[in-house]
Structures are given as structure tokens and as C-alpha cells.
Structure 1
């Protein structure tokens, strides 16, 4: 007589768990994990973060950006949530965050506009008059695109230099 009841597989033996590290050992992060969650605490990330092109930081001097002008650009970028909508923080908001007067921020915005980094775009509330300006960042993007090849060339030169330095000398 046959029994159609399935036979359970034999119990598997799990390998023993590795011993815990000594208390004086600090665990190292796994290589290759470079996402924001691995870099920043949750409490920091919960408030949001902005994507900043490295070339903006590397090329600050090359693009003739004063430190406060760069800070104003970073403040504008932090308000640029979608590509199709210009950022539009109030001058007072930027001033408060930078510990400056609104008039100082207005002067920095004027310099950034004269240098071609931004264009102010007037915004109006329906039946209520003018709202805070929007800031078109296409000039900044164009300037970053213009200096990007220089940084690529430097990176390639550094890579070749490192490779050359790492080559073992031939034994004669």
C-alpha cells in the first residue's frame, strides 16, 4: 500500500555563528557602500539633502566665485526640487541661513546675475502682487559644462601618472 504523504526533508544543520568581535574592535563599513544612508545619520537625512555637482566645488576659483556667492548658489540649489521649476527662496530666508542681511544677499544675487550664473525671474501671486523671485540656473549649468572637460583632462592625467608610478621596475 502506498502512502502519498510527502516525507519532510532531513533537518539541515546550520553552521555555527561566528564569535562576536572583541569589544575593542570598531566594525568597518563594507567597501563600496557609498549611499547617503551609509554616510549620514537618519536624523540628518530626514530633513532632506541636495545633489551638488562636485565640479561646482572644485571649480569655484576657476569660475571666479567668491565664497558667499558660492554659498548663495548652494542655497538656491537646495530649493531646486524639480528641473522644470526654478528655485524661489526669499532673500530673507537665504540671509537668515547665512547669517547675513537681506541687502547683502541682494548684492550677491546681483553679482551672480552679472557674472551669468543666474537670471532672476519675477513671480506674481494672483491679485496679491509680486512674490519672491525665481532663479533660472541655466547660466550656472552652462558654466559647469564649460569647465567639466578641464577636470576630466586633469583626472585622466592623474590616472596615467598614478599608473606610471605604480609600475614595478624591470629587474635587469
Structure 2
């Protein structure tokens, strides 16, 4: 698997799947979640509502999939990252689950390229350095027969610098 780093807007990325740092309601929100819902259009929200009506909220560390609406991807994989609460062991495990469950879901869909945002590092206050380390290690340890490329999409300079160093 090839790993790539891009500084930019995940809603503009050409990939089979993009990952949304969703909240447990799946109904959109701020940050990446809000941007994906706005750019993708009503279809994503409608599909999220169907998922919610079927299973209830999406638990932290889990992942669900919708089509991508107006986005240049086929799918949006919605994963709920942990809110940083100082319990490092629990938060690390939950964030690892976000990446692993998103990758497993992508693989089940036959996805060849997947783009990840910096999960939980915005309003969920996960330390950016630790989150980057978990993202890079989890992705590098994941074995896949179908996924060919993983793209980390950083929105800000700080995350971009962290990922550049971790991927060097």
C-alpha cells in the first residue's frame, strides 16, 4: 500500500472513499463532518438517517458507510473518534479502532484508494502528535489485498508537519 500526504480539503479529494470524522448522531456537525455534509449534499444526510433509524447512534471507534453524494468519491465512511478525556489507554484504543474499522469497511467495498482526515484532533482535542502517530502506525500495520493507496489529508500546517515527520 502506498501512503500519501496532502494538505488540503478532503471534500475535493479524488478517492474511492473518504473518511468522515463524524459524531455519534451521524447528522453532521462542525469541522470535517460539517464540511463533508455541506459539500456532499442532502443524500449523505438522508442515508445517515436511514442508518440511525436501523441501528441507533454510531459508537466511538465504529464505522458506517454511505454513498458520497456530490463529492468526487464513491463512498463516505463515517467513523466516530474519541473525545480526549485524559484516559490515554482508552482513547488510543478507540482511535486505532476508527482507522482499523474504516479500513476493514473500505476493503469489504473493494476500495482501492481511501482518504483520511485528522480524526479527533479538532473539537475532540486529541493531542495532534499522538493522533498522527496512531494513524500512521495503524495504517502501516494494516494488511489489505484491495486497498492500494491511503491518503492522509491535513487541513492545517501543524498536522501536515507532524505527518510529514512521521511518514519520513
Whether TM exceeds 0.5 here: the answer is no
Query: Normalised by the size of structure 1, how large is the TM-score?
Result: 0.26
Larger Rg: 1
Query: Normalised by the size of structure 2, how large is the TM-score?
Result: 0.27
